[in-house]
Structure 1
């Protein structure tokens, strides 16, 4: 089932000078799609436009069939699409537990919600009273994802999950992300610079170059043909 669909999405920071152009992208429930591309390709801008933090210059976005207005982040979250940005956007002075509780709308669900996240990220259990700013990079990423999950998303957007993290921590978080995707029937759009890690966890992949999606396919198809990814990054035809 298609959970999120954008058609002709065009967006940028200066009107008439878009960073992403005419992007068509669909996300299916229970699947991870990795968004690949070189630095400066427009990956973060695309996620910001999808989440409503950057207004669109054109195109449409639908979540579970519901049309999302341009530049309306609150409406986007209410519709079920939540962004984990590359800086994680935690409340650094608040404790780990308080960061999680803020994401739970109803007080009665707060305890159960925190316990659910600790099942996925047990490393956070001993850090519940620690300010988020004093957590390690891996713990902060776990907290950011956990907080997003507590908002009950249909679509989860994650920007540069592995930034500043050791490979073993990245692998651990990706394994949990796969479990969350299945358990919560999520659609996940993951921006990740480590191509092999991303393709190893994803179901589908799209490659963004100079603001355009130049190739889309199953992750397994890209894994079996690495030259296809290299040629897309370099902007040359595959021999």
Structure 2
């Protein structure tokens, strides 16, 4: 059984004008999907809809074989769908440690000290920043904090929107191995929206390319990494 299944998913902000149309997708346990596509293709809309921020316009979503209620963020989290949005959504007036403590307590899935230690194991760079307000740390540290906070909720499927937003590639390259490790060791499935295609394909198992709200390519990430001309053709609307 797949960890996440989308069946004929339609998503958008107006019922008469869906941004995403008829997506069928199965994500296996521990699989990382790079969700790629040009601006306006529907990538963020897909993640936000899966996270329950917007009701689905059609279709079904299942996590581990269980149907997920549409348009209900709490139901999505309970089902195991956790989103790291592109703005990271941190409580910027709270310290890094306080942000993590809130996630640990709300999930009730680990002792606080154990959770904090786990976050620092993933991202040692946060060690000296725990008492600093999250709004005062660097962009890279904020992204590490946002991902650690999401992972501490023990998601079945982690949704990450624009991991590299505002970050130097070297910072992104330090985060990607953590995601790969969590996927392999904990079986966490992931969907990663990322504009830096090469970085995304390095960590992903599979690439799914959206163009005008439709799936234009669905193939192994390594296969697409070896033929980026195919990606360019899809972006331009040619047959992929």
The answer, yes or no, to whether TM exceeds 0.5 is yes
Q: Which residue of 1 aligns with 2:150?
A: 148
Q: Which residue of 2 aligns with 1:14?
A: 14
Matches within 5 A, 1:1-239: 1-105=1-105, 106=108, 109-237=111-239
How far, CA to CA, are the matches of 2:236 and 2:9 in structure 1? 23
How far, CA to CA, are the matches of 2:11 and 2:110 in structure 1? 40
Contact 2:104 2:110 in 1 (8 A): no
- What RMSD, in angstroms, separates the aligned Cα atoms of the two structures? 1.2
How far, CA to CA, are the matches of 2:17 and 2:30 in structure 1? 35
TM-score under structure 1 length normalisation? 0.97
Q: Secondary structure at the match of 2:104?
A: coil
How far, CA to CA, are the matches of 1:112 and 1:153 in structure 2? 17
1:163-210 alpha-carbon deviations (Å, 9 max, x no partner): 000010010011111111112211000000011111111100100011
Query: Mind listing any 5+ residue stretches in structure 2 that lack a counterpart?
Result: none
TM-score under structure 2 length normalisation? 0.96
Query: Aligned residue pairs: how many?
Result: 238
How far, CA to CA, are the matches of 1:154 and 1:108 in structure 2? 15
How far, CA to CA, are the matches of 2:27 and 2:146 in structure 1? 21
The worse-fitting range, judged by mean Cα deviation, of 70-79 and 229-238 is 229-238
How far, CA to CA, are the matches of 1:117 and 1:94 in structure 2? 17
Query: Mind listing any 5+ residue stretches in structure 1 that lack a counterpart?
Result: none
